[in-house]
Structure formats: structure tokens, C-alpha cells
């Protein structure tokens, strides 16, 4: 087994390797200098393996949240397959285009299906990812998809906080399963949800709270923190209904547009995200906390390399 990293995830990849060493994963070979990704002056990408990958199980860590990252990934897969690798597992902590899982608008694309077709065609033999925006996206692939439960990243943190009168809130209908899974780790907590109507992406028409949050310490559980406009409105609505405090958890910290401004002016006491998108590591904000996804990914890679079940690793 050999592990390589793309330009999008060098820090996370190093953490994954460190965790594999703690797990005594002797099968792993990791020297990130042995995959050189050159870029010509016009932006053209050329990946070069500096070591043999023949008959090896290759794991490539790359968040596919930009066109350059996707193209880089495709060329790395092609290079590895042409060099005779036995299998190629794309470890994409955050899969780009996962919000495009259906045609919500007339004559629009289904970006996640297009990406699935391309990755399969070029030679990816399995995909390891965390919390797809819509779990049904797994059905777009005809290869194994190891879909990790991102809640596992945060549960230990909240158990250490010993928060009383906890209420878990799903910010929309699509987050209900994710939030109810989170509830399993906190049997004493209650549950509520927000029903919202959108007029277009990143814009909410109306929101209503379903459930009781009065005198509760609320945790909003979602998969993605993008502009935080919705999260800010949700926090305002929750506090207006008598909550003691409100926090938010989001596995993927996209944090685009006015996200930081919205965080600073929101009633959120803290936002906890993971490092699936490394850009967030450059942000310093007292309300922002970052938990590492590396231990969860490393445990999964270790189990896969030994042909073991990942059920216990992935179960909340």
C-alpha cells in the first residue's frame, strides 16, 4: 500500500500518516516527495511518480473542491494506472459538486453524477469520503464507496464539554438523519428541526422551528458550512425561541463569501468544523474551532488495507 497526496491536502495527509504510524500500520509506505505534480506556465498539470507503484494499492488524498483539484486527480489516477498499480482508492474527504445531486432547476446539470462517471472512467477503483451532501450520491458509482460518518469526528469533543440541557437541531429536512444519528451519542438530548424554503441557492425565503428549544443548549448539526447566512438566521430563530445558547457543527468548512462576517455577527457561541478542506486552517477566529478528520480516515485505511470490516469504526 502506498499513500500519496495532492496539492489540496498536504497537512491532512501528513496527519493521516502519523495516525497510521500510531496504529502500527506496517503496510503503509508514504513519501509524498515521490509524487511530483508539475505545472506548466500555462497551467497545464503533469503528475510524475518517482517510485514504482506496480502491483501496489494506491491511496491518493485529495479534496475535489475545485476544477484544478479535479483535473489533478484525474491525471494522477491515469499515471498510476498506466504505471501498473493494483488498485486506486481516491480519499476525498470532501467531494466537490455533491450539492448537485438532482435537477432542482429546469435544464440544469447533475454535477455529482458527471464527476462520478469521469472518476470511474479514468480508473478509480474505490472512493473513500466523508458525509456526502446527499447519501444517494453513492448510487451514482459502480465502484465501492466507503462513506464515513462525519459525526464521529466531533462526538468526543462534545462529550468532554459535558453540556447540560442539550438539544440537537437539524437545520433543514436533508439534515434530519445526520442530526438524529448525532443524538444517538447523547441519549439525554432532545431533538428539533428547522423547516426552510429556498428561492435560489444560498438564499432562504422563510424558516420555522419545529420542536422545543426553550432553556436548551442547542447544537445545530449540518454537513457543510458555506456562506453561513442560513446558519446565522437559524441561530437567531433558535435564540428568539428561548434557547440558552446555540452552537453549530459542520463537517465541511467551505466558508465562502461573507462567511466570517456572518459568523462574527451571528448568535453562535462557536462553530466547530473539520479539516476536510484545508483552507480553513489559515483562518483565525475565536468562534471557530477545527477538529481533525485524520484519525477517522487513518483507522478506515488501516482496516481496508487489512481487509477488515469498518462497521465499528463508522458506527455512532
Contact of 127 with 141, CB cutoff 8 Å:
yes
- Of the candidates 81, 113, 196, 244, the residue annotated as catalytic is 196
Q: Which contacts qualify for 32-38: CB closer than 8 Å, 24 or more apart?
A: 32/4, 32/5, 34/4, 35/4, 35/5, 35/76, 37/6, 37/7, 37/72, 37/76
The Cα 285–Cα 283 span in angstroms is 6
Cα 230 to Cα 70, 95, 98, 220, distances in angstroms? 28, 21, 18, 11
**Any catalytic annotation for residue 196?**
yes
Q: Can you say whether residue 109 is alpha, beta or left, with left for phi > 0 and alpha for psi between -120 and 50 degrees?
A: beta
Residues that are catalytic:
196
Amino acid at each position: 500500500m502506498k499513500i500519496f497526496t495532492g496539492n489540496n491536502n498536504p497537512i491532512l495527509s501528513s496527519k493521516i500518516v502519523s495516525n497510521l504510524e500510531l496504529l502500527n500500520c506496517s503496510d503503509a509506505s508514504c513519501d509524498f516527495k515521490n509524487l511530483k505534480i508539475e505545472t506548466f506556465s500555462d497551467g497545464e498539470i503533469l503528475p510524475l511518480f518517482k517510485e514504482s507503484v506496480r502491483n501496489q494499492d494506491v491511496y491518493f488524498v485529495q479534496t475535489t473542491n475545485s476544477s484544478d483539484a479535479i483535473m489533478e486527480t484525474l491525471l494522477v489516477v491515469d499515471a498510476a494506472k498506466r504505471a501498473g498499480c493494483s488498485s486506486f482508492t481516491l480519499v476525498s474527504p470532501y467531494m466537490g459538486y455533491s450539492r448537485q445531486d438532482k435537477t432542482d432547476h429546469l435544464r440544469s446539470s447533475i454535477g455529482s453524477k458527471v464527476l462520478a462517471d469521469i472518476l470511474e472512467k479514468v480508473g478509480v477503483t474505490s472512493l473513500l469520503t466523508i458525509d456526502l451532501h446527499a447519501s444517494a450520491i453513492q448510487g451514482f458509482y459502480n465502484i465501492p464507496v466507503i462513506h464515513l460518518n462525519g459525526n464521529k469526528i466531533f462526538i468526543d469533543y462534545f462529550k468532554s464539554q459535558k453540556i447540560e440541557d442539550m438539544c440537537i437541531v437539524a437545520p433543514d429536512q436533508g439534515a434530519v438523519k445526520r442530526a438524529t444519528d448525532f443524538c444517538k451519542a447523547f441519549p439525554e438530548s432532545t431533538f428539533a428541526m428547522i423547516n426552510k424554503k429556498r428561492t435560489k441557492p444560498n438564499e432562504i425565503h422563510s424558516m420555522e422551528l419545529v420542536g422545543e428549544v426553550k432553556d436548551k443548549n442547542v447544537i445545530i448539526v449540518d454537513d457543510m458550512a458555506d456562506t453561513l447566512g442560513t446558519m446565522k438566521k437559524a441561530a437567531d430563530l433558535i435564540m428568539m425561541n428561548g434557547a440558552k445558547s446555540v452552537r453549530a457543527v459542520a463537517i465541511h468548512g467551505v466558508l465562502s463569501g461573507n462567511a466570517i462576517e456572518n459568523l462574527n455577527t451571528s448568535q453562535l457561541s462557536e462553530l466547530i468544523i473539520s479539516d476536510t478542506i484545508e483552507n480553513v486552517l489559515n483562518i483565525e477566529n475565536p468562534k471557530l474551532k477545527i477538529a481533525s478528520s485524520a484519525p477517522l480516515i487513518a483507522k478506515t485505511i488501516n482496516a481496508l488495507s487489512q481487509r477488515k470490516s469498518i462497521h465499528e469504526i463508522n458506527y455512532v
